[in-house]
Amino acid sequence: MAAVSSASDTGDPRGRHPPERRLLLLGGPRSGKTSTANSILGDEVFDGATETTHSNVGHTEIYGRRVTVVDTPPWAIPANPGDDAEADNNDNAGAESDSPHRPPPSLDSEGPCMGAILCPPGPHAILLVVSVTQPFAETERRAAEEQLGALGGGTWRYSMVLFTGIDKLPKGVFIEEHIANTGEALQWLVERCGSRYHAFDNTRKETEENTQVPELMEKVEEMITDNQGWYFEVNELILLEEEQARRALEEERMRMEEHARQREQMIGGPPRELRLLLLGWKGVGKSSVGNCILGRRYFESGQETELCLRRQALVSGRRVTIVDTPGWDWFSVRRTPKRIRQESQRGAALLRPGPHTLLLVLPVVSSLTARKRRTLVAHIETLFGDSACLHTMVLFSCGDWLGRTPIEEHILRGGRELQRLLEYSGNYYHVLDSKTPGKDRSVSVLLDKIEEMIRENGDKAFLPIQTEWLSEESSYSSDNTEPEDDCRGCQLQ
């Protein structure tokens, strides 16, 4: 996007209309954008009693100059990386969050940047509205940065922070002191806007001594002068593409929420339990995958697993129990020590009355030859029987190596042996980036796929424990496993 000037915008006397100034208001939830827009327009043009879902435009004349004001929907506050884990902890504890509820946007609303289209060819000033009564931390700073970035490059030179609710500041506290005391996030925003800011008290709209609007317009004029009369030119095509992408993401979010709602109605009662057994070669990242699914470091990664270890956590509304197992030999069942084979069976026995899913961990960076594939299948069938394929899912680890490459394209490139392995597992597969425990949103999708597999298996929802898995030869165990009756009360049997 580029900044341009025109004769009508710089007050050319040949213009037939008063010189125009176009103001675009952006801000977060409860920032006071609508009240501020009405204060600038000098009338209740916009409805301040309801949340703004679509951008609205109003016009007025101030000192002989036509002023266009665009009010926009609140920008979305991005989630903290640890929000999902905190939410799970709150679910466990029954605690309520101290932070204000921020409802996500819906398909009935539009993105705030679409308001820029309503003041063609572009705004002279982008007013970032911030209420002094609302917290402004790193999440709010990121939201402001993302919204300005969505408009395009070069927006900060046209931006100014507009503080609202200054009547709520303690007596004797000025806005400069508030900026200094609030923290680095707000100071960053003000500095990014070239230290341009203004303070508004929207309760003074009707008073005769109210000079805050003229003072604001003077600061806008100073900014326009600094920008040599230029305004921010809006590229409508880019904004429309951004809006389409936003709506696509919102549709996916709503689809996932509806799926979760239907699942909750179907289940009812206590959280559903999923029992998962991690299997695979040595060094493929089984422990890291377990940590990724459970959302924290339960298993020691980076070192060889010698004994099975069982851990449990509440993940996306399910009680997930995972057993990590020692790794197999890459090329032969016979070369896998007997104690390791027995330990794999004992791992399944720890998931009474049996594991729902055998997660066969396969790094996306490894190639699969015919011998490797046969060895994997032989391990599964030798240890767990011919019906184990009904409960097996291939879980690709090291998903960050794929970059932008879809997993389906990777499977096609992987050759016939990889495709045959997936056919063996009923074409159930998933990919995880196991480097970021608790932050991979595809974990919820993985659990959805596991539940889909369970439904497909009908009355064979899990792989029943066999007597030989409980032999004395495999009775040695890690002291870190929980009591067996931790797995009671499963709702998926």
For 144-184, what is each residue's pLDDT tens digit? Answer: 998 888 887 888 999 999 999 998 998 888 999 999 998 99
pLDDT at 246: 63
Q: Is the pLDDT of residue 359 over 80?
A: yes
> Same domain for 200 and 112?
yes
Structure-block tokens of residue 216: 């604001």
Judge whether 493 lies within some domain: no
pLDDT at 251: 73
pLDDT at 36: 92
The three-state (H, E, C) secondary structure of the chain, written as one string: CCEECCCCCCCCCCCCCCCEEEEEEEECCCCCHHHHHHHHHCCCCCCCCCCCCCCEEEEEEECCEEEEEEECCCCCCCCCCCHHHHHHHHHHHCCCCCCCCCCCCCCCCCCHHHHHHHCCCCCCEEEEEEECCCCCCHHHHHHHHHHHHHHCCCCHHHEEEEEECHHHCCCCCCHHHHHHHHCHHHHHHHHHCCCCEEECCHHHCCCCCCCHHHHHHHHHHHHHHHCCCCEECCCHHHHHHHHHHHHHHHHHHHHHHHHHHHHHHHHCCCCEEEEEEEECECCCCHHHHHHHHHCCCCCCCCCCCCCCEEEEEEECCEEEEEEECCCECCCCCCCCCHHHHHHHHHHHHCCCCCCCEEEEEEECCCCCCHHHHHHHHHHHHHHHCHHHHHHEEEEEECHHHHCCCCHHHHHHHCCHHHHHHHHHCCCCEEECCCCCCCCCCHHHHHHHHHHHHHHHHCCCCCCCCCHHHHCHHHCCCCCCCCCHHHHCCCCCC
pLDDT at 153: 80
> Same domain for 204 and 338?
no
> Same domain for 300 and 231?
no
- In terms of pLDDT, which residue wins out, 99 or 339? 339
Q: Is the pLDDT of residue 14 over 80?
A: no
Q: What is the pLDDT of residues 383-410, one digit of tens each?
A: 999 999 999 999 998 887 887 888 888 8
Judge whether 255 lies within some domain: no
> Same domain for 185 and 239?
yes
Q: Where is average pLDDT lowest: 60-64, 88-92, 436-440? A: 88-92
pLDDT at 491: 39
pLDDT at 191: 95
Beta bridge mates, 20: 66
Q: Where is average pLDDT lowest: 133-137, 232-236, 265-269, 320-324? A: 265-269
432: closest CA among 261, 284, 283, 298?
284
d(CA 286, CA 323): 10
d(CA 182, CA 61): 35
**Residue % of the chain over a pLDDT of 90:** 41
> Same domain for 469 and 370?
yes
Judge whether 147 lies within some domain: yes
How many domains does the chain divide into?
2
Q: Is the pLDDT of residue 476 over 70?
A: no
Judge whether 256 lies within some domain: no
What average pLDDT does this structure show over 7-34? 71
> Same domain for 130 and 276?
no
Confidence bin at 77 (pLDDT 50/70/90) = confident
Q: Are 306 and 454 in contact (CB under 8 A)?
A: no
Judge whether 41 lies within some domain: yes
pLDDT at 150: 81
pLDDT at 95: 36
> Same domain for 42 and 165?
yes
pLDDT at 50: 82
Judge whether 323 lies within some domain: yes
- Global pTM reads 0.47
Judge whether 476 lies within some domain: yes
> Same domain for 448 and 314?
yes
Q: Is 241 exposed, middle or buried (0-12, 13-18, 19+ CB in 10 A)?
A: exposed
pLDDT at 15: 42
pLDDT at 255: 73
Phi-psi region of 354 (alpha: psi -120 to 50; beta: other; left: phi over 0): left
- Specify the CATH number for the domain of residue 134: 3.40.50.300
> Same domain for 410 and 282?
yes
> Same domain for 93 and 208?
yes
- In terms of pLDDT, which residue wins out, 237 or 487? 237
Residue-number span of the structural domain to which 145 is assigned: 3-247
Average pLDDT, the chain: 80
> Same domain for 390 and 313?
yes
Judge whether 206 lies within some domain: yes
Domain end position, chosen among 193, 213, 247? 247
d(CA 349, CA 278): 13
Domain end position, chosen among 231, 247, 263? 247
- In terms of pLDDT, which residue wins out, 185 or 302? 185
Q: Is the pLDDT of residue 424 over 90?
A: yes
Domain end position, chosen among 213, 247, 281? 247
> Same domain for 397 and 440?
yes
